[in-house]
Amino acid sequence: MSARRPTPLLALFLRDMQLAWAGGGGPLLAGAFYLGVAALVPLSAGPSPERLAAMAPGLAWLVLAVASLLSLERLFEPDWEDGALDLLAQGRAPLAAVAAVKAAAHWCATGAPLALLAPAAAVALGAPVRIAGPMLAAALLGGLAFAYLGAIGAALSLGARRGGLLIAVLVLPLLVPPVIFGAAAVEAAALGGPWLPSLALLAAYALLAVAAAPFAAGAGLRNALG
Protein backbone atom coordinates (compact mmCIF):
# COMPACT_ATOMS: atom_id res chain seq x y z
CA MET A 1 0.00 0.00 0.00
CA SER A 2 3.00 2.33 0.08
CA ALA A 3 3.62 4.88 -2.63
CA ARG A 4 6.58 2.92 -3.99
CA ARG A 5 4.37 0.13 -5.29
CA PRO A 6 3.36 0.72 -8.90
CA THR A 7 -0.37 0.70 -9.41
CA PRO A 8 -1.83 -2.62 -10.57
CA LEU A 9 -2.71 -1.24 -14.01
CA LEU A 10 0.83 0.03 -14.59
CA ALA A 11 2.12 -3.39 -13.54
CA LEU A 12 -0.24 -5.01 -16.07
CA PHE A 13 0.95 -2.62 -18.80
CA LEU A 14 4.61 -3.44 -18.13
CA ARG A 15 3.87 -7.18 -17.98
CA ASP A 16 2.12 -7.09 -21.34
CA MET A 17 4.91 -5.06 -22.92
CA GLN A 18 7.43 -7.60 -21.70
CA LEU A 19 5.32 -10.53 -22.89
CA ALA A 20 4.92 -8.92 -26.32
CA TRP A 21 8.67 -8.67 -26.81
CA ALA A 22 9.68 -11.91 -25.09
CA GLY A 23 11.14 -14.30 -27.60
CA GLY A 24 10.79 -11.74 -30.38
CA GLY A 25 7.11 -12.60 -30.74
CA GLY A 26 4.27 -10.40 -31.95
CA PRO A 27 5.86 -7.08 -32.89
CA LEU A 28 8.67 -8.59 -34.97
CA LEU A 29 6.23 -10.93 -36.69
CA ALA A 30 3.86 -8.08 -37.53
CA GLY A 31 6.78 -5.97 -38.77
CA ALA A 32 8.12 -8.79 -40.91
CA PHE A 33 4.65 -9.36 -42.34
CA TYR A 34 4.38 -5.68 -43.14
CA LEU A 35 7.73 -5.48 -44.89
CA GLY A 36 7.10 -8.78 -46.67
CA VAL A 37 3.84 -7.60 -48.19
CA ALA A 38 5.36 -4.22 -49.09
CA ALA A 39 8.23 -6.03 -50.85
CA LEU A 40 5.82 -8.25 -52.80
CA VAL A 41 3.73 -5.35 -54.13
CA PRO A 42 6.14 -4.38 -56.95
CA LEU A 43 6.30 -8.03 -58.02
CA SER A 44 2.53 -8.37 -58.28
CA ALA A 45 1.57 -4.87 -59.46
CA GLY A 46 4.41 -4.50 -61.93
CA PRO A 47 7.62 -2.51 -61.51
CA SER A 48 6.56 0.63 -63.39
CA PRO A 49 7.64 3.49 -61.07
CA GLU A 50 4.75 5.82 -61.94
CA ARG A 51 2.17 3.18 -61.18
CA LEU A 52 3.86 2.17 -57.91
CA ALA A 53 4.23 5.79 -56.79
CA ALA A 54 0.51 6.37 -57.36
CA MET A 55 -0.45 3.30 -55.36
CA ALA A 56 2.20 3.57 -52.63
CA PRO A 57 0.46 5.71 -49.98
CA GLY A 58 -2.83 3.83 -50.13
CA LEU A 59 -1.12 0.46 -50.20
CA ALA A 60 1.14 1.26 -47.26
CA TRP A 61 -1.91 2.31 -45.30
CA LEU A 62 -3.97 -0.77 -46.23
CA VAL A 63 -1.18 -3.18 -45.35
CA LEU A 64 -0.79 -1.40 -42.00
CA ALA A 65 -4.47 -2.00 -41.20
CA VAL A 66 -4.24 -5.68 -42.07
CA ALA A 67 -1.00 -6.19 -40.12
CA SER A 68 -2.51 -4.50 -37.04
CA LEU A 69 -5.63 -6.63 -37.13
CA LEU A 70 -3.75 -9.89 -37.61
CA SER A 71 -1.66 -9.22 -34.51
CA LEU A 72 -4.73 -8.21 -32.48
CA GLU A 73 -6.54 -11.48 -32.90
CA ARG A 74 -4.79 -13.03 -29.91
CA LEU A 75 -4.92 -10.01 -27.59
CA PHE A 76 -6.83 -11.81 -24.82
CA GLU A 77 -6.62 -15.44 -25.86
CA PRO A 78 -3.41 -16.44 -24.01
CA ASP A 79 -4.70 -14.98 -20.73
CA TRP A 80 -8.05 -16.67 -21.27
CA GLU A 81 -6.53 -20.07 -22.03
CA ASP A 82 -4.02 -20.23 -19.19
CA GLY A 83 -6.32 -18.98 -16.44
CA ALA A 84 -4.71 -15.55 -16.02
CA LEU A 85 -7.99 -13.87 -16.97
CA ASP A 86 -9.71 -15.56 -14.00
CA LEU A 87 -7.07 -13.99 -11.77
CA LEU A 88 -7.22 -10.61 -13.49
CA ALA A 89 -10.96 -10.60 -12.74
CA GLN A 90 -10.14 -10.74 -8.99
CA GLY A 91 -8.27 -7.44 -8.95
CA ARG A 92 -9.52 -4.04 -7.89
CA ALA A 93 -9.58 -2.84 -11.50
CA PRO A 94 -12.70 -3.67 -13.54
CA LEU A 95 -12.36 -5.80 -16.66
CA ALA A 96 -12.98 -2.72 -18.82
CA ALA A 97 -9.75 -1.26 -17.39
CA VAL A 98 -7.97 -4.55 -18.05
CA ALA A 99 -9.10 -4.39 -21.68
CA ALA A 100 -8.06 -0.72 -21.98
CA VAL A 101 -4.59 -1.35 -20.56
CA LYS A 102 -3.99 -4.46 -22.64
CA ALA A 103 -5.02 -2.60 -25.82
CA ALA A 104 -2.73 0.30 -24.87
CA ALA A 105 0.20 -2.05 -24.26
CA HIS A 106 -0.49 -3.72 -27.60
CA TRP A 107 -0.46 -0.37 -29.34
CA CYS A 108 2.85 0.61 -27.73
CA ALA A 109 4.48 -2.76 -28.37
CA THR A 110 3.17 -3.49 -31.87
CA GLY A 111 1.19 -0.52 -33.23
CA ALA A 112 3.89 2.09 -32.74
CA PRO A 113 6.72 0.06 -34.36
CA LEU A 114 4.42 -0.69 -37.31
CA ALA A 115 3.62 3.02 -37.56
CA LEU A 116 7.34 3.74 -37.85
CA LEU A 117 7.60 1.28 -40.74
CA ALA A 118 4.67 2.76 -42.65
CA PRO A 119 6.32 5.96 -43.97
CA ALA A 120 9.48 4.04 -44.81
CA ALA A 121 7.53 1.47 -46.82
CA ALA A 122 5.50 4.15 -48.61
CA VAL A 123 8.60 6.12 -49.60
CA ALA A 124 10.43 2.95 -50.64
CA LEU A 125 7.53 2.19 -53.01
CA GLY A 126 7.98 5.61 -54.59
CA ALA A 127 5.69 7.97 -52.68
CA PRO A 128 7.02 11.53 -52.27
CA VAL A 129 9.11 12.02 -49.15
CA ARG A 130 6.83 14.82 -47.92
CA ILE A 131 4.16 12.26 -46.97
CA ALA A 132 6.41 10.76 -44.26
CA GLY A 133 5.21 13.09 -41.51
CA PRO A 134 1.46 12.84 -42.20
CA MET A 135 1.82 9.11 -42.82
CA LEU A 136 3.46 8.58 -39.43
CA ALA A 137 0.81 10.63 -37.65
CA ALA A 138 -2.00 8.81 -39.44
CA ALA A 139 -0.42 5.43 -38.74
CA LEU A 140 -0.05 6.19 -35.02
CA LEU A 141 -3.64 7.40 -34.68
CA GLY A 142 -5.03 4.69 -36.94
CA GLY A 143 -3.13 2.03 -35.00
CA LEU A 144 -4.69 3.36 -31.79
CA ALA A 145 -8.18 3.05 -33.25
CA PHE A 146 -7.43 -0.43 -34.64
CA ALA A 147 -6.07 -1.59 -31.25
CA TYR A 148 -9.15 -0.53 -29.28
CA LEU A 149 -11.74 -1.62 -31.85
CA GLY A 150 -9.87 -4.86 -32.41
CA ALA A 151 -10.02 -5.44 -28.65
CA ILE A 152 -13.81 -5.65 -28.91
CA GLY A 153 -13.53 -8.35 -31.54
CA ALA A 154 -10.80 -10.18 -29.62
CA ALA A 155 -12.91 -10.19 -26.43
CA LEU A 156 -16.11 -11.28 -28.17
CA SER A 157 -14.41 -14.08 -30.07
CA LEU A 158 -13.35 -15.68 -26.75
CA GLY A 159 -16.93 -16.47 -25.86
CA ALA A 160 -17.90 -17.38 -29.39
CA ARG A 161 -15.31 -20.19 -29.75
CA ARG A 162 -15.41 -20.93 -33.48
CA GLY A 163 -17.21 -17.67 -34.22
CA GLY A 164 -13.97 -15.87 -35.07
CA LEU A 165 -14.96 -15.27 -38.66
CA LEU A 166 -18.37 -13.91 -37.68
CA ILE A 167 -16.74 -11.56 -35.18
CA ALA A 168 -14.34 -10.25 -37.81
CA VAL A 169 -17.31 -9.45 -40.04
CA LEU A 170 -19.10 -7.74 -37.14
CA VAL A 171 -16.15 -5.55 -36.17
CA LEU A 172 -15.15 -4.71 -39.74
CA PRO A 173 -17.70 -1.89 -40.21
CA LEU A 174 -16.23 -0.12 -37.18
CA LEU A 175 -12.86 -0.10 -38.94
CA VAL A 176 -14.16 1.56 -42.10
CA PRO A 177 -13.99 5.18 -40.82
CA PRO A 178 -10.35 5.09 -39.68
CA VAL A 179 -9.30 3.43 -42.93
CA ILE A 180 -11.12 6.12 -44.96
CA PHE A 181 -9.88 9.07 -42.89
CA GLY A 182 -6.32 7.79 -42.78
CA ALA A 183 -6.18 7.05 -46.49
CA ALA A 184 -7.67 10.48 -47.25
CA ALA A 185 -5.01 12.22 -45.14
CA VAL A 186 -2.20 10.26 -46.75
CA GLU A 187 -3.52 10.80 -50.29
CA ALA A 188 -3.94 14.52 -49.65
CA ALA A 189 -0.37 14.75 -48.38
CA ALA A 190 0.91 12.87 -51.43
CA LEU A 191 -0.83 15.37 -53.74
CA GLY A 192 0.41 18.31 -51.67
CA GLY A 193 -3.09 19.20 -50.49
CA PRO A 194 -4.46 19.91 -47.00
CA TRP A 195 -4.20 16.72 -44.96
CA LEU A 196 -4.93 18.09 -41.51
CA PRO A 197 -8.75 17.94 -41.71
CA SER A 198 -8.76 14.21 -42.45
CA LEU A 199 -6.16 13.64 -39.76
CA ALA A 200 -8.32 15.55 -37.26
CA LEU A 201 -11.28 13.32 -38.09
CA LEU A 202 -9.07 10.27 -37.66
CA ALA A 203 -7.89 11.59 -34.28
CA ALA A 204 -11.46 12.20 -33.16
CA TYR A 205 -12.48 8.70 -34.16
CA ALA A 206 -9.46 7.18 -32.42
CA LEU A 207 -10.27 9.03 -29.20
CA LEU A 208 -13.87 7.88 -29.39
CA ALA A 209 -12.65 4.29 -29.77
CA VAL A 210 -10.28 4.68 -26.79
CA ALA A 211 -13.10 6.03 -24.65
CA ALA A 212 -15.89 3.63 -25.62
CA ALA A 213 -14.37 0.34 -26.76
CA PRO A 214 -13.00 -0.80 -23.36
CA PHE A 215 -16.53 -1.06 -21.95
CA ALA A 216 -17.66 -3.33 -24.79
CA ALA A 217 -14.44 -5.35 -24.57
CA GLY A 218 -14.76 -5.63 -20.76
CA ALA A 219 -18.31 -6.95 -21.12
CA GLY A 220 -17.03 -9.46 -23.68
CA LEU A 221 -14.35 -10.63 -21.26
CA ARG A 222 -16.88 -11.03 -18.45
CA ASN A 223 -19.07 -13.06 -20.78
CA ALA A 224 -16.15 -15.29 -21.76
CA LEU A 225 -15.43 -16.18 -18.12
CA GLY A 226 -18.93 -17.51 -17.36
Residues forming contacts to another protein in the complex (CB under 8 A) are: 1-2, 4-8, 11-12, 15, 18-19, 22-23, 78-79, 81-92, 225-226
Of the two residues 55 and 154, which places its CB atom closer to another protein in the complex? 154
Of the two residues 92 and 162, which places its CB atom closer to another protein in the complex? 92
Instruction: Report, in Å, the least distance between residue 158 CB and another protein.
Output: 13
Instruction: Report, in Å, the least distance between residue 193 CB and another protein.
Output: 47
Instruction: Report, in Å, the least distance between residue 18 CB and another protein.
Output: 7
Of the two residues 81 and 212, which places its CB atom closer to another protein in the complex? 81
Neighbours of 39 (CB within 10 A): 12
Instruction: Report, in Å, the least distance between residue 104 CB and another protein.
Output: 16
Of the two residues 27 and 134, which places its CB atom closer to another protein in the complex? 27
Residue closest to 195 by CA, chosen among 24, 85, 69, 61: 61
The span from the first CA to the last CA of the chain, in angstroms, equals 31
Residue closest to 155 by CA, chosen among 221, 78, 103, 209: 221
Distances (CA, A) of 73 to 62, 150, 156, 163, 207: 17, 7, 11, 12, 21
Of the two residues 44 and 90, which places its CB atom closer to another protein in the complex? 90
Please give the Cα distance from 123 to 125 (Å, whole number): 5
Instruction: Report, in Å, the least distance between residue 17 CB and another protein.
Output: 12
Instruction: Note whether 131 and 182 are within 8 A (CB).
Output: no
Instruction: Report, in Å, the least distance between residue 3 CB and another protein.
Output: 10
Burial (CB count within 10 angstroms: exposed 0-12, middle 13-18, buried 19+), residue 9: middle
Of the two residues 36 and 86, which places its CB atom closer to another protein in the complex? 86
Neighbours of 200 (CB within 10 A): 13
